[in-house]
Structure 1
């Protein structure tokens, strides 16, 4: 028998599903609004606050990004509001704007987050396990300039 679809009413879990992103994965104020999770999928709206300084590695910076990471089955990103950046390891960061959609293939080492002068909210669908790697260096973040 074929699997049945899963319908999540109002695209939200029961109750208040919004929580602060963990400090070991994000810099600055990051908020996660979980929509759906199972063993193979994580679907959420993620908002990077931007527009204020954050403490990171004993110096002040304006990075509002998640740590570099990979997804076992890839990750789909769609920017809902604000602007930001996405970057594969070794590449120059690419600007993200409202409506942009990014597919990160399985195993791609990447990071994404808000611009230093804007917040960014994006819808993400991650497939499989996430492997959190090292934080994005100030040098890597500033390579966008």
Structure 2
């Protein structure tokens, strides 16, 4: 049984459209609802919803940062060389410039977070099934 099915309909903000623009950087299906994309503001804000088992590739934010505000479900966050952290609603993650990391849903749960991002992402290799399935 899948946990946190209510997340698939949006918790605070409506769930976005299928995240086709970034699909090549994800394993599984994600959805994106852009909340702030103002060129006069040096930060983007979006709601990312992950189906169970979905995660993004390892990536680095260059000349910026990323803040993740977890709004629903259960998921994972991991920085290179560190153990993965289980995330639940209310958790906050600060990823500093140049830190290699990934985030995504638990295998059995929908997951949603607000992503507040500045700088340019550098997308890297996928998180392997072997590594992900050990969590």
Same fold (TM over 0.5): yes
Please name the residue that 1:108 is paired with.
99
Alpha-carbon separation, structure 2, partners of 1:92 and 1:143: 11
Q: CA deviation at 1:31?
A: 0.2
Q: Which has the higher helix share?
A: 2
| Alignment partner, residue 56 of structure 2 | 66
Deviation at 1:91, TM superposition (A): 1.9
User: Are the equivalent residues in 1 in contact too, given 2:16–2:47 (CA < 8 A)?
Assistant: no
Partner secondary structure for residue 128 of structure 1? strand
* Cα distance in 2, alignment partners of residues 134 and 38 from structure 1: 29
* Partner SS for 2:77: strand
> Residues 71 and 112 of structure 2 are in contact (CA less than 8 Å); yes or no, is this contact kept in structure 1?
yes
Using the size of structure 2 for normalisation, the TM-score is 0.80
In the TM superposition, what are the counterparts of 1:112-131 in structure 2 within 5 Å?
112-131=103-122
Question: Which structure is richer in relative contact order (CA contacts within 8 A, separation 6 or more)?
Answer: 2
RMSD across aligned positions (CA): 2.1
Q: Which residue of 1 aligns with 2:5?
A: none
Deviation at 1:74, TM superposition (A): 1.0
Following superposition, the deviation at residue 28 of structure 1 comes to 1.4
Shift in Å, 1:17: 9.1
Of residues 41, 46, 50 in structure 1, which corresponds to 2:48? 46
1:90 paired to 2:81? yes
- Corresponding residue for 1:140? 131
Matched position secondary structure for 2:90: coil
Cα pair distance change 1:46/1:127, threshold 3 Å? same
TM-score (ref. length: structure 1):
0.75
